[in-house]
């Protein structure tokens, strides 16, 4: 009997050890994808939760008084005939009980200043921590992801670095009492991360750290570049030689981050360009403009993988694989995009294992090929699962190899090119926000940021955002028979709306 007990205990210990060593797959969901047109529209019901160990709903915002702001009340909440996306997202755990659900605060469009103000005041910071705990309990999330972009940048101040440490420490202390998970999305590259984080201290308090190892090149530069190259090119030097996944990971490890807490961010989208000359189409080719917006994501300079794979499968685009940097790019005429496919995602998953990292994060689930238009549904996500969690392999797309395609940057470039998205400078818009058409909006429509009702049609409203001094807007329509209530920022019955 004692022998049976010991065997059972040993088996339980092995099971616990195996579970504790399981690689994480952290799936971010961009909630605005429910507004995309046609086959780009992504419903929460499309998510296969068994493919994610953690699912992160994005985003909520912050107020300078330490409160949490729900950014799309009609979509997120059940109140006032809302669509209760929070509830439906958390209900997916019934299909995969081991999957944890989290809510993320911040993102690029939220900026840094408000977070800097809240974190700098001990009383406001404490109030914010209390509000986060209450929010998680109310809406039944398992954890919280802090996406402050970025401490000590974009209007922040040097004291942000230690105030960020205080914030995550106080969040962790409160979370441990409730059993909540605490993670953060962080800048990956040294030139940005070195400004924002006391890495040894931050690492003490976060359960895991999602390093955003993408947006390493993009249309803010005037030459084509790969969104998330795994390794540097032999022709790169200086700071530019640090803009690759391997350098980002090594910097965080060298600064004291435990490898098991590092979750490598992978991009389910590409960065696109318009070439100066269609015959000069390698990496580093002159590209004075952003690439054309895609039919679903509708953002110049960015294409979802679900948009890219269809272009490549059509035969009209030529796709090649960069042998040095271990990621593909594709071009057609003057249009060019650097991205990840099944092969490059598989290599990044193997890299995670080689470096003993904690797992993979993906931005974001709704730009995978979730309809399976190019073959398998969710090919990129399933590839991560096949390597990190012993899932079923996905056939890899074979592309012609290209050796050393990168054109050297001029000595004056220093690899920065005036960009600070997830990993560099200040004024560009990375892909972690709603796809906003780049169309200037007349001031009679947008006079402030946030929700604005149309002046002539009460069923129409806009989300207004300010970029580089100009307003841009996304137009939405309420369901038939409803008007937009600009007091509650929800679609409401006409009798309840002053129109």
Positions annotated as catalytic residues are 149
Q: Provide the angle, in degrees to the nearest 10, between the axes of the packed helices 113-120 and 122-139.
A: 110
Note whether 301 and 218 are within 8 A (CB).
yes
3-state secondary structure of 311: helix
Straight-line distance from the first to the last Cα atom of the chain, in angstroms, rounded to the nearest whole number: 77
Q: How many Cβ atoms from other residues are within 10 Å of residue 23's Cβ?
A: 21
Q: How far apart are CA 341 and CA 395, in angstroms?
A: 11
Q: How far apart are CA 445 and CA 350, in angstroms?
A: 50
For 186, the enclosing helix (H) or strand (E) is strand 181-187
Q: How far apart are CA 73 and CA 82, in angstroms?
A: 7
Vertex 345: Cα angle to 312 and 270 (nearest 5): 50
Q: How far apart are CA 367 and CA 497, in angstroms?
A: 36
Note whether 417 and 430 are within 8 A (CB).
no
Number of H helices, E strands in the chain: 12, 21
DSSP state of 174: H
């Amino acid at each position: 009997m004692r022998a049976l007990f010991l065997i059972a205990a040993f088996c339980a210990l092995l099971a616990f050890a195996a579970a504790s060593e399981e690689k994480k797959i952290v799936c971010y969901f961009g909630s605005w994808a429910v507004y995309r047109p046609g086959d780009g529209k992504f419903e929460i019901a499309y998510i296969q939760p068994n493919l994610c160990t953690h699912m992160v709903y994005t985003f909520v915002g912050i107020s300078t008084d330490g409160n949490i702001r729900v950014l799309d009340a009609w979509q997120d909440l059940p109140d006032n005939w809302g669509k209760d996306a929070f509830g439906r997202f958390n209900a997916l755990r019934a299909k995969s009980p081991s999957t944890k659900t989290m809510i993320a605060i911040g993102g690029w469009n939220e900026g840094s200043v408000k977070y800097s103000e809240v974190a700098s005041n001990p009383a406001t910071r404490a109030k914010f921590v209390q509000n986060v705990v209450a929010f998680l309990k109310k809406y039944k999330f398992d954890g919280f992801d802090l996406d402050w972009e970025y401490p000590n940048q974009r209007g922040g101040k040097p004291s942000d670095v230690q105030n960020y440490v205080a914030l995550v420490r106080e969040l962790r202390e409160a979370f441990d009492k409730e059993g909540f998970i605490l993670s953060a999305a962080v800048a990956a590259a040294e030139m940005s991360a070195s400004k924002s984080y006391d890495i040894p201290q931050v690492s003490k308090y976060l359960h895991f750290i999602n390093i955003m190892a993408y947006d390493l090149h993009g249309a803010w530069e005037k030459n084509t570049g790969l969104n998330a190259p795994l390794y540097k090119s032999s022709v790169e030097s200086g700071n530019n030689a640090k803009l690759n996944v391997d350098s980002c990971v090594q910097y965080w490890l060298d600064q004291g981050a435990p490898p098991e807490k590092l979750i490598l961010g992978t991009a389910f989208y590409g960065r696109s360009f318009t070439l100066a000359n269609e015959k000069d189409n390698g990496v580093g080719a002159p590209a004075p403009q952003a690439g054309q917006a895609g039919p679903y994501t509708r953002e110049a300079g960015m294409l979802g993988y679900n948009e890219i794979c269809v272009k490549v499968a059509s035969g009209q685009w030529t796709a090649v694989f960069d042998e040095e940097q271990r990621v593909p790019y594709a071009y057609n005429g003057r249009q060019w995009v650097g991205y990840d496919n099944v092969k490059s995602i598989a290599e990044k998953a193997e890299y995670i294992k080689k470096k003993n990292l904690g797992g993979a994060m993906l931005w974001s689930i709704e730009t995978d090929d979730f309809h399976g238009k190019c073959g398998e549904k969710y090919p990129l996500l399933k590839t991560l699962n096949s390597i990190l969690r012993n899932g079923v392999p996905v056939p890899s797309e074979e592309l012609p190899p290209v050796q050393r395609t990168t054109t050297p940057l001029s000595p004056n470039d220093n690899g920065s090119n005036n960009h600070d998205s997830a990993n560099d400078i200040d004024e560009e818009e990375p892909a972690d926000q709603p796809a906003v058409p780049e169309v200037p909006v007349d001031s009679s429509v947008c006079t402030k940021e946030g929700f604005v009702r149309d002046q002539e049609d009460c069923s129409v409203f806009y989300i207004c955002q300010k970029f580089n001094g100009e307003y841009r807007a996304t137009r939405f329509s309420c369901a038939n028979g409803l008007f937009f209530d600009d007091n509650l920022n929800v679609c409401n019955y006409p009798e309840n709306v002053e129109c």
